[in-house]
Structure 1
Amino acid sequence: MEESKRGRPRSFDADAALEKALIVFWEHGYEGASLTMLTEAMGISRKSMYAAFGNKEELFLKVLECYERGPGAYVRESVREPTAREVARAFLDGAVHAGTQAGRPAGCLGVRAALAVGAAGQSVQSVLTVWRAQSQADLRERFQQAADEGDLPVDADVDMIARYLTTIADGVSVQAAGGASRAALRRVVDVALLHWPLG
């Protein structure tokens, strides 16, 4: 009896289940991803989902962490590039690559999940707003470092540059979701960086 109270050990691969949930949220957005879609894709019951991951919102937050470590890792990795121009290139190229991978939904999970959110998903939309703002803040901080080191003009508008790049990346995601090819989006990146440094 004591064993049954503690419950049986988990009989599924939590990481694999999260990866499957990631694809569902990425393809359908936060509100479009129903619990039925999620549990069927994950191959588990709702009870198991709640026990392992919490409610739908908690599951999404765990999925977002997986995305940050996987397809979305370019956001954090780009700021490690040695020059401001290479940071910008890595950030935008990363957005193109993440949004045009074979076998995965097109576009960015964070952008797609937030595009169609009603009242029930406001807390998730707020999380995604903060998540995207953090990316912009990381870029702004890196470009300020570049300006301080002479890699950008001392009077460079680092806030505008960071906002410009995140706006282009969001646009890349929307275009990718609409069917734009990787080659076409790489051309957009080339044009976006023609007049570097910006401003």
Structure 2
Amino acid sequence: MRPREFDEDAAVDAVMCIFWRKGYAATSMNDLVEATGLSRSTIYNSFGGKKKLFALALKEYRRVTTENIAMISRPGDVRTSLRELLLSIVADESSDREGFGCFAANSSLEVSGRDPELSALVAQHFERLEAGLLRLLKRGQKAGEIPADQDCQMLARYFVAVIQGIRVVSKGLPEASRQVHLQSIVDAVIKSL
């Protein structure tokens, strides 16, 4: 068997970008060929086709979730950590001139409920973020920042929903008012904690 003559990581990254920009259904095999510079046969032989490439792209996107979890895992109080995370998401969305949004949120809206395998991969992003938020909230509870009677699991799920809501809502907001609108959501969320 001959070794692969292309950079697999670069190909998967290119595939992620095209799926992120166009979505799963709107991305054609020609788009994937153009994005990667690989032939159709190489794509099928190396990756197994469009669905498998989309699954790889979702797995590659985990680095974004990992960065967000790392942000809330650093020492500091809960409100500051959570505010920093939410403001970084607002900054992402406010600077998104091409309307990419969040690949996990976009994919959730497009494929969840239609394909169990892809739905499970999308759900993993939200579950990882929820687990990171749960650790942050429990840490805050131990430090006395969050009342002992608060259900940290429920709060973690709430914050995942807020984060994804920010990402979805931002796509429909005019660029001129997006930052202010999203900032007001962050302020309301932090006050509710």
TM-score, normalised by the number of residues in structure 2: 0.81
User: For residues 118 and 138 of structure 1, do their structure 2 counterparts lie closer, same or farther at Cα, with a shift above 3 Å needed?
Assistant: closer
Aligned to 2:40: 46
Give the superposition deviation at 1:100.
4.2
For residue 101 of structure 2, the aligned residue among 103, 107, 110 is 107
Residue 183 of structure 1 pairs with residue 176 of structure 2: no
Amino acid in structure 2 at the alignment position of 1:41? A
Give the superposition deviation at 1:74.
3.4
Aligned to 1:148: 142
Note if contact 2:71-2:85 (Cα within 8 Å) is conserved in structure 1: yes
Aligned to 1:3: none
Aligned to 2:17: 23
Map 1:115-134 onto structure 2 (within 5 A). 115-117=109-111, 121-134=115-128
Counterparts of 1:48 and 1:179, CA distance in 2 = 41
Amino acid in structure 2 at the alignment position of 1:183? Q
Residue 94 of structure 1 pairs with residue 91 of structure 2: no
User: For residues 39 and 140 of structure 1, do their structure 2 counterparts lie closer, same or farther at Cα, with a shift above 3 Å needed?
Assistant: same
- State the number of aligned residues: 189
Query: How much is the aligned-residue C-alpha RMSD, in angstroms?
Result: 2.6
TM-score, normalised by the number of residues in structure 1: 0.79
User: For residues 119 and 191 of structure 1, do their structure 2 counterparts lie closer, same or farther at Cα, with a shift above 3 Å needed?
Assistant: closer
Residue 136 of structure 1 pairs with residue 130 of structure 2: yes
The unaligned stretches of length 5 or more in structure 2 are: none
Counterparts of 1:66 and 1:183, CA distance in 2 = 28
Aligned to 1:59: 53
Give the superposition deviation at 1:105.
4.2
The unaligned stretches of length 5 or more in structure 1 are: 1-5
